[in-house]
Structure 1
Amino acid sequence: MKMADDEIKAIVAETLVEQHRLHQESIDAIVSKVVASVLASLGIEDDDRKELRVDFQHLRRWRKSVEQAQSYTFKAVITVVATGLMGAVWLGVKVALGK
């Protein structure tokens, strides 16, 4: 009994798909182990992930508030400098008109 070319191609295609799936699962498992190992070497265990996420969220909020404070400080400095310059110009005009 001889197999038809279409049957052989179908069997080869199924085999290749299964090999690819197994290979991908193997890669996923390896990557997962490597990530867990790297995190463990940094002192971060699997149980700490939720806490770590909360810490990063807190750091992001802190960074954004510091950036906002810097923005307000910059605006305040510009306002003070502009007010000082306007005051100096006003005094200059008063002195010039007073003579």
Structure 2
Amino acid sequence: MTWEQAADVRAIVVETLAEQKRIRHDDIDAVVLKAIATTLTSFGIDEEDRKELRADFQHLRRWRRSVEQAQSYTFKAVITVIVTGFVGAVWLGIKATLGK
């Protein structure tokens, strides 16, 4: 076999393997899409409801963020009340000590 024939055979093999890989990827994509559609359908979500589902997830994300922000503010408020109470107690103690 000459070098040109070997190169032609190599090119054919590479092209065939690439085509098989594309076919496998297409098959995998089809199986994945079918599995996702089946899973969503089993949860009661139709494929046509994608926009509504997306809006629901966006609403849930906004709700979660607002709850996290409220928790942060609550924590800061509690810390502020504790520190203020402690400082007030110290101030009353100093005032009582100096007033005697």
Q: Distance in 1 between matches of 2:88 and 2:24?
A: 75
Aligned pairs (5 A) from 1:2-21: 4-21=5-22
1:54 corresponds to: 55
Normalising by structure 2, we get a TM-score of 0.90
Counterpart of 1:50, as a letter, is K
Q: Distance in 2 between matches of 1:65 and 1:75?
A: 15
Aligned-pair identity in percent equals 63
Counterpart of 2:49, as a letter, is D
Q: Distance in 1 between matches of 2:19 and 2:79?
A: 67
Q: Distance in 1 between matches of 2:40 and 2:52?
A: 13
Aligned pairs (5 A) from 1:27-66: 27-66=28-67
Counterpart of 1:45, as a letter, is D
Deviation at 1:13, TM superposition (A): 1.4
2:79 corresponds to: 78
Unaligned runs of 5+ in 1: none
Deviation at 1:73, TM superposition (A): 0.9
Normalising by structure 1, we get a TM-score of 0.91
1:24 corresponds to: 25
Kindly report structure 1 stretches of 4+ aligned residues shifted beyond 2 Å: none
User: 1:61-90: CA deviations, max 9, x gaps?
Assistant: 111111111111111111111111111111
- RMSD (CA atoms): 1.5
Unaligned runs of 5+ in 2: none
Q: Distance in 1 between matches of 2:5 and 2:92?
A: 102
